[in-house]
Structure 1
Amino acid sequence: MSDTFLYTTPLDPRAKPLIDELIVEYDSRYGNYFSEEGAAAEMNRYPAEAFAPPHGGNFVLLIRNGETIGGGAFKHYDDQTAEFKRIWTRSDLRRQGLARKVLFELEAQAARQGYSRVYLTTGFRQPEAVGLYLANGYTALFDVETDPEVYKTLPFEKNISHLVATLAFLAEVPPPQAASHA
C-alpha cells in the first residue's frame, strides 16, 4: 500500500469523486443552513485558480494504488498566511490518519511557498475536524467551551515559521558525499 501526493487542480478528474463526496457530506450535515444552494455553492465560491500557483495557492490529492483517497487545498490569505480549505478523506477510509497526513503535507507546501502562518475555518457540525486541528497544534480563535453553533464557523490558526526555517536550512545543506576509495 503506497500513498503519494499529487499536486494538481480542483478541475482534475481525479479530484471529482472526492469533491462530490465532500458536497454530499456537507449537505448531510448542514443542508441549506449556510446557503439556499447548499454545499455546491460553497464549493464553487472560489475559482480553481485561487488554489494554484502563481496565485499563492495549491491543491493536493492523496493517491493510493491509483485511487484518490484524500486531499486538500490552500489559497492566499495575506502575505504571511495561507488559508487551508477542503481537507478531506474518503469516508470509507477514515480513522487511518489520512487527514493528518494531508494536513502536514499542506503545511509543508505552504511553508515551501513562503507562508509562515496557516488560517482555516471549519463548520460547527464537524467535531472530527475540530479534534484534528486541536490535536495538531492549531489554536482555536474561539472559546472551545462555548456551544460551537453559536459561532457557526470555527476559525483556527497555526504558526508554521519553524517549517519555513527548517526547509530553508535543508535547502542549504549539501547532500552527503559518497565515500571515496581512491
Structure 2
Amino acid sequence: MTQLLPAAAGGWTIAAVSYDSAAARGLTQALQREQFATYGRADAPEATAAAEFESPHGVFLVAARADETALACGGWRTAGPATAEVKRMYVAPTARGQGHGRRLLEALEQDAWRHDMTQVILETGVSNHAALALYTHCGYTLVEPYVPGRDPRINRALSKALSQPLMARQQNDGPM
C-alpha cells in the first residue's frame, strides 16, 4: 500500500488503494456480512465498479497497521455537481474505539475537498449507533433519503457542507 497520510497514533497508516484490491475486498465483504446479520439485507460490494472510486471522481482508502493488516476502509465517489458520497465505511471489530473511523472520514473529506467537492452525503443503518454518533459528532445532519426505495426504518441519510480543512487553512493563513 502506498501511504497517503502520516502514521497515526498506534502505528497505523491510511492509504489510497484500488477498490478491487484484496484489502478493500476483505473489509467490504466483512461490512456486508455485518449489515446482513443486522438488517437481513445488504448491498453487494461487487455491485459497485472499482472505477467509481478512481481519481478525480473518488478515492478508496484503507487504514492498516505497519504490517499491512487492514483495519478500516471507506471511499468517496462523485454523486453530483460538487457532491461526494461516502461509501463502504467500515472498521473491523478488533480495531473499533481507536479513532480509525474518525481519521478515515477526515481523510475522505480532505480528499473530496481537494477535488472541488463542497458537500458530502452518506447513508448508514438506523441500528448502527456508533456510525450515527461519529457522523453527528463530525458535523453531519439528517436529510431526506437520496436513494430511491430506501426503507426509512433501516436507512438514515446524512449530509455535511465541506469547508476548507483545518490543515489547509493553517498552511494558507499560518498557525491559528
TM-score normalised by length of structure 1: 0.78
What amino acid is the match of 2:36? D
Separation (CA, whole Å) in 1 of partners of 2:61 and 2:152: 32
Please, which runs of 5 or more residues in structure 2 have no aligned partner? 1-9, 145-150
Match of 1:73 among 72, 75, 82: 75
Aligned to 2:31: 22
| Separation (CA, whole Å) in 2 of partners of 1:140 and 1:60 | 24
Given that residues 3 and 63 in structure 1 are in contact (C-alpha distance below 8 angstroms), is that contact kept between their aligned partners in structure 2? yes
Instruction: State the partner residue of 1:59.
Output: 60
* Conserved? CA contact 1:8–1:59, under 8 Å: yes
* Pairing partner for 1:138 from 131, 137, 140: 140
Equivalenced residue count is: 158
Structure 1 runs (4+) greater than 4 angstroms displaced: none
Asked if the contact 1:119/1:157 (under 8 Å) is kept, the reply is yes
User: Secondary structure of the equivalent of 1:128?
Assistant: helix
- Per-residue CA distance 1:120-179 (angstroms, 9 max, x = gap): 11122212111111111111126xxxxxx744321111111233x963883x689xxxxx
Which residue of the other structure, out of 5, 23, 36, is the alignment partner of 2:14?
A: 5
The one-letter code sitting in structure 2 at the alignment partner of 1:63 is A
Is 1:93 the counterpart of 2:95? The answer is: yes
- Aligned equivalents of 1:73 and 1:160: distance in 2? 16
Q: Is the 8 A contact 1:118 1:158 kept in 2?
A: yes
Aligned-pair distance for 1:45?
2.8
SS in structure 2 opposite 1:155? strand
* TM-score, normalised via structure 2 length: 0.80
Contact 1:138-1:156 within 8 A present in 2 as well: yes
Question: Does structure 1 retain, via aligned residues, the 8 Å contact 2:39–2:154?
Answer: no
1:155, 1:31 → 2: CA distance?
19
The runs of 5 or more residues in structure 1 that have no matched partner are 33-38, 143-148, 175-182
Determine if the alignment matches structure 1 residue 31 to structure 2 residue 43: no
Higher Rg of the two aligned structures: 1
Q: How far apart are the structure 2 equivalents of 1:136 and 1:103?
A: 9
Could you say what the CA RMSD is over the residues aligned between the two structures, in angstroms? 2.2
Q: Note the C-alpha offset of 1:53.
A: 1.4
Contact 1:123 1:153 in 2 (8 A): yes
